[in-house]
């Protein structure tokens, strides 16, 4: 399927999503939201892929909401911004979290506003050393959305989260990695190569285990210890009954790479 604002493909069990409005640094529009909904509907089908890479075309990952897409007819007109958040951004972030396969965001250039939140909603975030994460909402009189206020304090602590959002100053990819905001920063010109290598590694792992790890780790942010321990036991029970577990043991004993089938 051809999209107006995205490039999308699945090959060798790896899905690739490229935000494709380079002339606007891939700013998000209503059309892009509609197309992302279609992409995730395809990814949610069983055995569609085993890993996803999300990146941006051109000189940046995403500059956030395209403000021109929210143009009002007069300076006195007001718009309920929560409608777009509830209809578009929140469902997208929730679908990213719930997707059974890991999502890698390969963040190039700049990721600003909702673009930064979208990048950080992935399970593993790679960025170029000189990539800039900017929580720019305060610069136009708004608060972070698309999960920014949830992710930031949990990853970097309240002090740095407040600094990023109150000041609105850029944080480089290298600094983000040093802070623990992202998984890793790499040389800018090797970003996609590194993301592809990581995706191939993940695509070769047991899909049921990946989905379970993703779900249980995210749940731990809100669970108490007793609840989390029970959840570990239940997920381990489920994984222990899979063919992939038997194949993993066989591969280990036979000193070969396992061939996981997602069963």
pLDDT digits (tens, 9 = 90+) for 118-171: 999 999 999 999 999 999 899 999 999 999 999 999 999 999 999 999 999 999
* 72 confidence band (pLDDT: 50, 70, 90): low
Q: Is the Cβ–Cβ distance between 137 and 115 less than 8 Å? A: no
Q: Is the Cβ–Cβ distance between 6 and 17 less than 8 Å? A: yes
pLDDT digits (tens, 9 = 90+) for 179-235: 999 999 999 999 999 999 999 999 999 999 999 999 999 999 999 999 999 999 999
Coil, strand or helix: which one is 5?
A: coil
Coil, strand or helix: which one is 112?
A: strand
Q: Is the entire prediction scored with pTM above 0.85?
A: yes
How far apart CA 130 and CA 174 sit, in angstroms, is 7
* 76 confidence band (pLDDT: 50, 70, 90): confident
- Report the pLDDT averaged over residues 75-79: 76
Average pLDDT, the chain: 94
For position 78, what pLDDT does the model report?
A: 79
What domains can you pick out in the chain, each with its CATH number? 6-203 (3.90.226.10), 207-253 (1.10.12)
Task: Take residue 59 and report the two structure tokens written for it.
Answer: 């000189």
* 2 confidence band (pLDDT: 50, 70, 90): confident
- Edge to edge, what strands does the sheet with 124-128 contain? 6-11, 14-19, 51-56, 103-107, 124-128, 184-186
- Report the pLDDT averaged over residues 54-81: 85
Coil, strand or helix: which one is 213?
A: helix
């Amino acid at each position: 399927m051809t999209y107006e604002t995205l490039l999308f493909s699945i090959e060798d069990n790896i899905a690739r999503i490229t935000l494709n409005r380079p002339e606007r640094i891939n700013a998000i529009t209503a059309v892009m939201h509609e197309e992302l909904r279609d992409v995730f509907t395809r990814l949610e089908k069983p055995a569609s892929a085993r890993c996803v890479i999300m990146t941006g075309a051109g000189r940046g990952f995403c500059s956030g909401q395209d403000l021109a897409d929210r143009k009002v007819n007069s300076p006195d007109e007001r718009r309920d911004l929560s409608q777009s958040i509830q209809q578009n951004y929140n469902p997208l972030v929730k679908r990213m979290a719930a997707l059974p396969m890991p999502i890698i965001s390969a963040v190039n250039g700049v990721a600003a506003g909702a673009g930064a939140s979208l990048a950080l909603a992935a399970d593993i975030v790679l960025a170029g050393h000189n990539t800039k994460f900017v929580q720019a909402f305060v610069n136009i009189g708004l608060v972070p959305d698309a999960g920014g206020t949830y992710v930031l304090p949990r990853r970097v602590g309240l002090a740095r989260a407040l600094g990023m959002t109150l000041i609105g100053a850029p944080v480089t990819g290298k600094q983000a990695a040093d802070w623990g905001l992202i998984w890793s920063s790499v040389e800018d010109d090797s970003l996609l190569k590194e993301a592809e290598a990581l995706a191939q590694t993940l695509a070769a792992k047991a899909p049921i285990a990946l989905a379970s790890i993703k779900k249980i780790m995210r749940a731990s942010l809100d669970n108490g210890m007793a609840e989390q321990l029970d959840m570990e036991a239940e997920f381990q029970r489920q994984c222990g009954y899979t063919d992939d577990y038997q194949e993993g043991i066989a591969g280990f004993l036979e000193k070969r790479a396992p061939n996981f089938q997602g069963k």
